[in-house]
Amino acid sequence: MSKETYRVCFCFRRRFRIAARQAPADIKEIFNAYSENGVMNVDHFRRFLINVQGQESATLEDAQAIMDSLKHLNIFHRRGFNLDDFFRYLFGDANPPIDTKRGVHHDMSAPLSHYFIYTGHNSYLTGNQLSSDCSDVPIINALHRGVRVIELDIWPNSTNEGVNVLHGRTLTTPVELIKCLKSIKEHAFVTSEYPVVITLEDHLTPELQAKVAEMITQTFGDILFSPGSECLKEFPSPESLKRRIIISTKPPKEYLQAKDVKEKDSDAKKGKDSTEEEAWGSEIKSFKDANKYDSFVGEDDEDDAEDSKAQQNEAPEYKRLIAIHAGKGKGGMQDWLRVDPDKVRRLSLSEQELETAIVNYGKDIIRFTQRNLLRVYPKGIRFDSSNYNPLIGWSHGAQMVAFNMQGYGRSLWVMHGMFRANGGCGYVKKPEFLLKADAYGEVFDPKLPLPVKTTLKVTVFMGDGWYYDFRRTHFDAYSPPDFYTRVGIAGVPADTIMKKTKTLEDNWIPTWDEVFEFPLTVPELALLRIEVHEYDMSEKDDFGGQMCLPVPELRKGIRAVPLHDRKGDKYNTVKLLMRFEFV
C-alpha cells in the first residue's frame, strides 16, 4: 500500500469515528442542582421528578421503584445516581414522552359519535390504488397498529357465484372476502379490545348479499353486533361494544334511490368527472383503450356501489346485519347534514366535498357530528395512496378520517400521532367543544381567532443512535452527517407552524440545545411534529427520523423521544433528548 493510499484510508476511518456521548451543559446543571457531592440519592431524585418532570404526586417509593427498574444498566443503587447514571436514565426507554403504561384513560362510556376513531381506507390494498395486490396482510397490519375501522370493497368474482375484495375497475388483483373476514376475526382485538367497524362498499346482487350475510354470521357469530334492520336512535358506547364487530354500509333498499338521484345529476357532474379523469393520466386512459374498464370507481360506498336492476330486490338477512346505516339521501349538502332526533347514521364525504362544505356549512358539520358519524375519504386521484391533512376533518368533528395506511408522508405521521393517545386503543375522546354548543348556542369554529390557552415550550437538547441504525455512509460517503431538527405543531390553522434548529456539521451525536415556543389556541387538537434531516448541499436533504405526539398527553420534563422511519416503524436506537414545558 502506498503512503498516499494509507493517508486516504486513515482519514476515512478517522472521519467516521464516533465520539463518546456526553450530557449537555443544561443536563449537568440540573444534575448539580439535585445532587450532593456528585450523587443524586432517592430523595434528590424524588424532588427532580416533582420539580422538573412535573410528577407532582411522586413519592419516595415511586423514585426508588424507578431506580430499581434500572438495575440492568448496572447503575450503582446503594447511594444513588452519578451524572452518567442520571444521563443514561434520561435518554433511556424508561423515560418516554407519553405514558405508555397509563393505558386507556378517556371516558369510554359515551356514544361512538363522541370519539375520533382510527380509520383505514381501502384497507386491503398493499400499495397504489390502480395495480397493487389486494390481500389480508395490510388489514392484519392495520389492526395490529390499532386501526378500528376496516374498509372492504366487495364485488362478484369472475363466475358471479362468489365474492371478492378488490378496488373495482382497476388492475388490482382480488382477494377472497372470506379470507379477509377470517383475518379480521383473528387479529381484531390483538392490540385493542374496543370495537372494530367493517365498512362495506357493496357492488353485489341480492343473491350475493345473502351469501355475504351467511359468511359474516358464520365467521363472527356471537361477537357480531346486530341490533336489527332499523336505524339506531343513538350509538352505543365503545365500552359496551368491547370485542364486538360492527357492520356499516348503505341499506340495500336505498341503493336504487341513490342511483336515480345520480342519473338526474349526471350532466352537472360531467365537467368535474372529465377533469378528474385527465388527472389520472395515462393509467386510466390505457384501461379504457383496452375496453376492460368502464370508468374508475369512486371511493364512496354511498355513491358508486349500486346496480339498478339487481338492487330492486333486497336481501333481508343482509340488511339485518347492518348496525350503522350509511347514506346521503336525496337533496344536497344541507339535507345530508340534517340531524334526525330519532335516528343516527353515517355520512361519507370525500376530502374535496368536506373542504367545499366547510365554506358554507362548517357549523352544520359540527352539529351533525355531535350525534352522527362522518367519514372522510381521500379524493380519487390519490392513486399513489397518499393522504390529506386529517386536522381539517378532526377540527370539524369527523370521527372517521379514513387513511391509506399503506401510504406514506407527513399526513400519515400525524394520524399515527393522534392515535398514540388513550393508550393506543384506536378511540380518542373528542374535546367537549366539539360535542355541544356553548352557552350562547354557538358551536366551535376552527377558523375563528381565539385567545392563547397555553404555550408549549420545547427544548431540543441532542440526538443519538444514527451511528448504530444506519450504514456509516448512508448520509455522506466521506464524513459524518450534518443533522438538523424540525419541530412544530399540527393543529387548527392558527396553531400550525414548523421551526428548525441550526445544522450541526460532521456529528453523529448532535447537541443543538435550542428552545422553541408554540402558543396554542386549541391545545386539545394539537400534535407535536418532530423530524430530523441531514443537510445535503447538492441533493435533497436525507431523512433521519420522525415522531408525532399528541400535545394533551405530553409528559412534562426531560424525555427521551424515540424516532420512527417513514413508514412509522420505530428505529432500534435513534432518539432525541427533549424537554417539554407548558408556560
All three cell numbers of 63 = 423514585
Average pLDDT over residues 468-489: 94
Of 370 and 441, more confident? 370
Confidence of residue 12 (pLDDT cuts 50, 70, 90): very low
Q: What is the pLDDT of residue 78?
A: 62
Q: Is the pLDDT of residue 275 over 60?
A: no
Q: How far apart are CA 95 and CA 87, in angstroms?
A: 11
CATH domain 454-582 topology: Immunoglobulin-like (2.60.40)
Confidence of residue 71 (pLDDT cuts 50, 70, 90): confident
At residue 487, φ and ψ (nearest 5 deg) are: -140, 140
Average pLDDT over residues 411-429: 98
Confidence of residue 375 (pLDDT cuts 50, 70, 90): very high
Q: How far apart are CA 352 and CA 181, in angstroms?
A: 31
Sign of the torsion angle spanned by Cα atoms 400, 403, 405, 408: negative
Q: Of these residues, 167, 396, 416, 533, which one is catalytic?
A: 167
Q: What is the pLDDT of residues 402-417, one digit of tens each?
A: 999 998 899 999 999 9
Confidence of residue 73 (pLDDT cuts 50, 70, 90): low
Average pLDDT over residues 450-468: 97
Q: Is the pLDDT of residue 499 over 90?
A: yes
Confidence of residue 75 (pLDDT cuts 50, 70, 90): low
Q: Is the pLDDT of residue 10 over 70?
A: no
Contact 135, 124 (CB under 8 A): yes
Q: Is the pLDDT of residue 158 over 70?
A: yes
Of 77 and 560, more confident? 560
Contact 435, 152 (CB under 8 A): no
Q: What is the pLDDT of residue 238?
A: 98
Average pLDDT over residues 357-361: 95
DSSP letter string over 174-229?
A: PEEHHHHHHHHHHHTTSS--S-EEEEEEE---HHHHHHHHHHHHHHHGGGEE---S
Q: Is the pLDDT of residue 9 over 60?
A: no
Specify whether 564 is catalytic. Answer: no
Q: What is the pLDDT of residues 19-66, one digit of tens each?
A: 778 999 999 999 999 999 999 999 999 999 999 999 999 999 999 999
Burial bucket for residue 484 (CB in 10 Å: 0-12, 13-18, 19+):
buried
Specify whether 167 is catalytic. Answer: yes
Q: Is the pLDDT of residue 110 over 80?
A: yes
Q: What is the pLDDT of residues 302-333, one digit of tens each?
A: 444 445 444 446 788 999 999 999 998 788 99
Q: Of these residues, 121, 203, 325, 396, which one is catalytic?
A: 121
Burial 448-462 (b: 16+ CB within 10 A, else e): eeeeeeeebebbbbb
CATH superfamily of this structure's domain 112-256+310-434: Phosphatidylinositol (PI) phosphodiesterase (3.20.20.190)
Q: What is the pLDDT of residue 132?
A: 94
Of 262 and 381, more confident? 381
Q: What is the pLDDT of residue 253?
A: 62
Q: What is the pLDDT of residues 378-395, one digit of tens each?
A: 998 999 999 999 999 999
Percent of the chain with pLDDT over 90: 78
Confidence of residue 231 (pLDDT cuts 50, 70, 90): confident
Average pLDDT over residues 100-121: 96
- Cβ neighbours of residue 350 closer than 8 Å, sequence gap 6 or more: 298, 299, 300, 376, 377, 378, 379, 380
- The residue assigned the cell 360531467 is 270
Strands in 404-541 per DSSP E: 427-429, 454-464, 483-490, 497-500, 511-520, 527-534
